[in-house]
Structure 1
Amino acid sequence: MTDPLTVSTVTRRIGTVIAVAGRLDAGTSAHLARTLGDLLRCRPCLAVTVDLSRLDFIGGTGIGVLALYRAAATRLGVVLRIVDPPPHIRIIIEASGCELLTAAGNRAAGGVGSWPMRCRNRRLVVSADTTLSRQRAVRRCWRPQP
């Protein structure tokens, strides 16, 4: 049995914080996409923080949603931060071709460090097997552009 995805939104003075918990995969990523889409369309703000600290699993579709809405937020002039991913989630995101880079001096709501998401590759291919070592996962998942 899989954990359902829980998405909670809190609007604060410095922006909106979206806390994601459970599994973010092909079956549940539409829920996060709707939340992010509604937020960017209906309630424009200067900063959106996506807190992944309680995320158990992320699949390629979930990574694609984060990358897609980060690009949409950037076009609208909104800063979208990916905050506090657990180590196993960070490895999967990096293996997919997206880097989570520590932003010096950048702090999100609640005082935790934040990492802006930047993709090296528009085509996201990721293995769902989180037991792979990082090096093997990168070899298996990373596809350089021709």
Structure 2
Amino acid sequence: MRGFDLTPYRRSTVGFDRLFDLIENNARLQQADNYPPFNIERLSDDRYRVTLAVAGFRTDEIDITAQQNLLQVTGRKEESQGGDRARFLHVGIANRSFERRFELADFVRVEKADLADGLLIIELVREIPEAMKPKKIAINGGQLVDINGKDRDAA
């Protein structure tokens, strides 16, 4: 996959450095390991689901860490003894350790995670704080009104 040249955009924008870095880093990571396979679904405007295929992993072998804008899923498998490998005639199910990272937008948090039938399902929700929601300002009234038309000073 070819890289992106974002130089023209970097010259004409201010404050989007993090976004451009994410795009460039993601392009490099796409060429890297694709294990375990995953899906990302948008369930609604503020709800998302990440599903990872982690066949062969137990709940105690998987760690999920959410920190600021990063979701990190790590699976640790102990190295199997040589005797275990000798039983298999063919090993087609990947059973190796992994680390998968997902960059999260602001105010996106992990709601819950479930492991069933070899699929790790992580539910995400975006919750914008009340202070960050848009507010309408009445020009002649001098009072704050939220976007639903309610008087914010009447509380």
Question: TM-score scaled by structure 1?
Answer: 0.25
Higher normalized contact order (CA 8 Å, seq sep 6+, divided by chain length): 1
Q: Which has the higher strand share?
A: 2
Q: Which has the higher helix share?
A: 1
